[in-house]
Structure formats: C-alpha cells, structure tokens
Amino acid sequence: AGSMGKGGNQGEGGPEREAPMPTFSWEEIQKHNLRTDKWLVIDRKVYNITTWSNRHPGGRRVIGHYAGEDATDAFRAFHPNLDFVRKFMKPLLIGELAPEEPSQDRGKNSHLIEDFRALRKTAEDMKLFKTNHLFFLSLLAHIVAMETIAWFIISYFGNGWIPTLITAFVLTTSQAQAGWLQHDYGHLSVYKKSRWNHIVHKFVIGHLKGASANWWNHRHFQHHAKPNIFHKDPDVNMLHVFVLGEWQPVEYGKKKLKYLPYNHQHEYFFLIGPPLLIPMYFQYQIIMTMIVRKDWVDLAWAISYYTRFFITYIPFYGILGAFLFLNFIRFLESHWFVWVTQMNHIVMEIDREPYRDWFSSQLAATCNVKQSFFNDWFSGHLNFQIEHHLFPTMPRHNFHKVAPLVKSLCAKHGIKYQEKPLLRALLDIIGSLKKSGQLWLDAYLHK
C-alpha cells in the first residue's frame, strides 16, 4: 500500500510520465497505410488514425490518403485552429520518429519544406489569413440581389421567351457565384471559428444552391490533399469517360480498354463534359449521398432551396415548366463550372501517388490564370489556384498579396510556376484531352 501512496502523491509528474515514448522508423510507419491499419506523422510524432478516421470531421478518406507518410504540412494547411485540433490528437499518439530518422519520409527535400514553412509564417505575420468581412458580405449581397432581380423580371415582364432567357442567365450567374462563395466557407476561410464557417456554408450551398455541404467537403478536401492523384483525388476519377494525363491513357491502351473512343474525347467533351456534369451527375450524386448517409440536416437545407425555387416559379411556368427551367439553369451553370474548374488542373501532371512534399505536389498539379477584375470575379479567385492550394484557409482577397512570395520560392527551387491568360487556359483543356487521347490510341494500336 505504501508504494501505491507514493505513486499517487506525485500526481501528474509521476512515474507514468517517465516511460520512454516508443520510437519508429519510416520503414515501419510506411507499412501502416492499409484501410484497416493507418498511421501518419505530424511534427515527428506518430499517430494511429485507424479508428479516428471514421469520426474525422473532414471525412475519413482525406486523412487516410496520408497514411504511412508525413502529414505535417497538410495538417497545418487544412486546420485553422491547431490548438483546438490537437486536443483530439492526444489519445491517438503512439510514439515518435526514432532520433536518427529524418523528419521527412522518402527523401523529400527538407530545404524546400523549411522554406515553405517560413513562407507560411510570413503570410501569417502579414495578416494574410485575416478576413475582410465586407468583401464576403458584398459577394453574398450580389447573389441575393440577382435572385431577387430574376423574380422581378418574370413578375414584371411575364413568362415569354425573352424574359425567361434573360432570367435564366441572371440565375446562372447567381448560381455560379454562390458556387464560388460556398467554396470559401467550406474551406473555413472566412470566420475565425470553424463553427460559423460551417453554418454559413450550409446556408450558401444548401439554401442558395440545393446541394450538400458534407458531400462537397468530403469530396473537395480529398482533391486538395492529393490533387491529380489517381484513386485519391475524386476529380480525376472520370468513370472511364475520359483518360487523363500521360500514364492513364497508355495503361488503358495496353490493357485494350475502350469504353469510349478516347482519341475523340476532345470532341465529345463538348457534348458530355460541360453540359452534363452538374444537371446529371452531381445533382443525382448529391441527392443519393444525402439519403444513403442519412444526412437529414443537409437534406433539409436542400429541400428549402427547391421549395423556394418552386414557390417562386410554378405560378409562372407550372410544375413541369419550373422543373425544366431549373434544369436549364443547371445546364448553363455547368458549362461555367466545368471550364473554370478544369483549366487549373486537367492540363497539369496527373499520375499515381509519387509521395512528394506539400509544396511540390500542389505546384505539379496546379496552374494559375492571369489576374484581372473580371477573371477574379468570373472564377471566384480560382485564377489564383496555386495560392489557394498552398493555403486553403486563406481568404481569397489576399491571394494576390501572397502570390509574389510563392513565385520567388518557386524560382529559388527551380519549380515551374505557370500562369496564363484565361482564353489560353481554356483552350489548353482541349489540347490536353487531345494529347491524352492520342497517347491512348497509340498504345491501343500497339505502336
């Protein structure tokens, strides 16, 4: 009993603190990258995320994509409030890197990584993560204004062809802009508190667009964690409709896979890419996801959008007419969305997991479009896609301030920083599809 007492008296600094922390080699850590067994490393500490990943607020897949590797920079990039998040990590800690092990796995460039961390620190010191609330408020206001003007046009001018077309274009613009705005809240880039971002996100994506916040986040964060990497980035999973990059078309060709004539994909892209992505694929996928996941909160928000839309437009068009009107708007918006979202990524390197450091992996997968007031507005500042990918929680009105720093870091390390005019970027999508299609044909015909 005496010895028990002694241990108890020492309180927190007692014997349990002195047990040495288990240490691991990279070789050992890299084995734990299976669905049922996942470890990752943050700041030289090893965490077992196998069971936690199912409760991870950003989704289980995004955190699993870093199993078996160092996730320090991704961890810092995605979480605005690190102290809050670390509370959840304490119970997952299983050990640390052995002292002789480098801080980086797989020979990643430690100079570059240190330089990028210094760059992030500079951006924080320059207050580039501070939000200008008036900026986001005016974006929201111009969306609400367009929704109101749309209703006003129809109620004043009636439901003829000309007012209908004009209204469709106004609503397409408000939908596209709401799409860029929900993206800001989804990334927690507006408010200091994650909670506020999540609430406004549900309003913008749910009530203004009829989509699901959880569906978007769980999909989109994976894209950010591992852009342009097959089996990890959902945005390059083309369901056998297109072949992308240089590796996939050759792989399909060698295996004699021909779900579609890929050598014509740069032509049929116009028929099934921009017109159908939102009205057919996304709309169906969003509704199914909410039902399958029993996500009643997101479903209620989405229903509020449809209810408002139909109450507003059924009096003018009837039930079928309003339904067709809605799908026509989605069809138009889909063109805008597809061209803008593909111009930054589809033209870049697309491959299997190469395990590169955060900075290099984002730069290899991303290019920018020149800055102008129109380009900023038209693309929701995704013309600064490189900066957005390096700092997903940075409010977008600050991208242009951090861009020169990113450019100089690229120059220092000999990394290509690509920036092009808007029209060139859009044309390159077609050029890139054509090139991949040709690679497929050559491999398919076994040249």
Residue 249 DSSP one-character state? H
Look at residue 15 and tell me whether its pLDDT is greater than 60: no
Measured between its terminal Cα atoms, the distance across the chain in Å is 82
Task: Please give the domain boundaries of the chain with CATH numbers for all domains.
Answer: 23-107 (3.10.120.10), 108-446 (no CATH)
Contacts 24+ apart (CB under 8 A), 82-86: 84/194
Token output for 299:
């479903």
Residue for token pair 């506020």: 196
CB atoms closer than 10 angstroms to residue 184 = 25
pLDDT (0 to 100) of residue 144: 98
Q: Report residue 67: phi and psi, to 5°.
A: -60, 135
For residue 401, the surrounding DSSP H or E stretch is helix 399-413
The tens digit of pLDDT for each residue in 247-279 reads 999 999 999 999 999 999 999 999 998 988 887
For residues 27-33, give the mean pLDDT: 96
Alpha carbons within 13 angstroms on the beta-carbon side of residue 347 total 21
Strand order in the sheet with 93-97: 23-24, 93-97, 45-48, 37-42, 33-34
State the amino acid at position 72 in one-letter form.
T
Whether the predicted pLDDT of 140 surpasses 70 = yes
Distances (CA, A) of 230 to 127, 223, 258, 269, 352: 35, 10, 19, 20, 5
pLDDT (tens digit, 9 = 90+) per residue, 84-103? Answer: 999 999 999 999 999 999 99
Cα distance between residue 112 and residue 48, in whole Å:
27
CA distance 181 to 377: 11
Q: What is the pTM of this model?
A: 0.92
Phi, psi (deg, nearest 5) at residue 303? -60, -35
The two tokens of residue 173 are 């613009």
- Asked if the model's pLDDT at residue 447 lies above 70, the reply is no
Give the pLDDT score at 14: 47
Work out the angle at residue 46's Cα, subtended by the Cα atoms of residues 45 and 50, and round it to the nearest 5 degrees.
145
Where is pLDDT greater, at 12 or 237? 237
Q: Is 284 exposed, middle or buried (0-12, 13-18, 19+ CB in 10 A)?
A: exposed
Helices (H), 343-384: 358-365, 373-378
pLDDT digits (tens, 9 = 90+) for 334-380: 999 999 999 999 999 999 999 999 999 999 999 999 999 999 999 99
